[in-house]
Structure 1
Amino acid sequence: MITSDLNLDEFFKVSQCGFAKEMWDILEGTHEGTQNVKRAEKHALIQEYEIFRMMKGETILDVQKRFTHIVNHIISLAKIFEREELNIKIFKCFDRTWQPKVTTISESKNLTTLTTTSLFGKLREHKLEMNRLNDQENKEKHVKGIALKAAGQKGDQDSSDYSDSETFNLLTRKFDKFSKKNNREKSQPSNRYNSKNVNEFNSTNYTYFGCGIQEHIKVECPSNVSKEKGGYKKFEKKGKSRRAYIAWQNNDDSSSSSSSKGR
C-alpha cells in the first residue's frame, strides 16, 4: 500500500526496506524532518506569529492569507490556539487608522466565539466602505476645486471689467469738464475787449506824441478838431481841460504865423 502511492524517486528511497514501519519513518523524516528540525521550524513560526503586522499597502485579504498560513503551520506542529487569542492577535497587527473599527468589534462581539473568518470579513466590509467614502470625498473636492477656479476666473474678469468701466467713466468726466470750460470761454468776451477794462481806460493818463500835450490820445488831439466856433465846447463835452484847449489854440496860432512869414 505504501509503495503503490509513491513516485519513482520516493520508491527508490524505500525500496530496500523490509518493513512498512521502516518505510514510513524514512518518508516522515524526509518530508517532515526529524524532531530537532520540527522543533526549530516550530520556534521560527512562533516568532513570525508574534511579530506579525500588517504591511504597508497590504489589503485585508493579503493579511488573512499570511496569517492563516502561519497559524496552520504552527498547528501542524502540535501548537493549539484559542479563538480569543487569535482574534486579539489580529487586532494588534493593524495600525492606528484601524483602531476605531477594532475597538467597535471588540466591544460589540464575543471574541471567544468569533471565528477568524468572520472577523476578517467584517474588516474587509469596513475597508470597502472607507474606500467608497474616500472616492466620494475626492470627487467632491475635485468638483469644488473646479468651481473655485471658475469663480476666481470670473472674479478676475469682473475686476477687469470694473477697472475698464472706471477708466472710461473718468475719461468721460474729464472730457465733459473740458467741453464745459471751452464753451464758457467762447461765450465770454476776451479780456482785451472786456467792458471792465474799457471802463477803467482813462485817456488822461496818456500823452500824445504828436503835440506833446498830456491828457488825450491821438483821436482826441486838438490838432485834429475843427477850428470852427465853439471848438472848446467839443473839448468840454469830451471832458478835456481848458488848458488843453489853450495849448491847442497857441499851437494853431504859431502855425499860422509861421505860414504867413513864409509867404
Structure 2
Amino acid sequence: MADKLPFGKGASINRPPLFCGVNYQFWKVRMKIFVESIDKGIWNAIKYGPFIPMVENEKVIYEKPWSQWTEQESKKVQYDCIAKDIITSALSSDQFFRVFAKEMWDILKVTHEGTNDMKRARKRTLIQEYEKFRM
C-alpha cells in the first residue's frame, strides 16, 4: 500500500511533505504540522496572509519604508518569505506551475481590470462624464 502512495514510504523532518495532486486532505494536515514545527509565525503567515508594516501619520495609514522596520517587523515579514519557500518546495512541478499560473493570472487581472468595486466606480465615473458631455 505504501509503495503506491505519491509521497513515498516515510516522512522527513527536514523536508516538507511533497504534494503531487493526490490526497490533498492528508497532505494539508502533514504540511500544517511541518510548518508549525518550524515556527508558529510561519503558519500564521500562511493562514492570515503576509504581514505588512504600516505607519499612521495624521490619520493617514501607509506602508512603512523598509529602512524604518523594527527587528520584530522584519521577522514577521520574513515569515511570509519562508512560507513561500516551504510551500514551493512541497509541490511537484505540475502543482507548482498550476498554482503559480493561477496566482499570476489573478494578479494580472486585478492589475489591468481592477476589482469589482473598482469596475463599478469606473463605470459611474464614465456615466457622469457622459452626462456632463451631453449637457
Which structure's residues are more often strand, by fraction? Answer: 2
Same fold (TM over 0.5): no
Q: TM-score range by the shorter chain?
A: under 0.3
Calculate the TM-score normalised by the size of structure 2: 0.26
Calculate the TM-score normalised by the size of structure 1: 0.15
**Which of 1 and 2 has higher RCO (CA within 8 Å, sep 6+)?**
2
Which structure's residues are more often helix, by fraction? Answer: 1
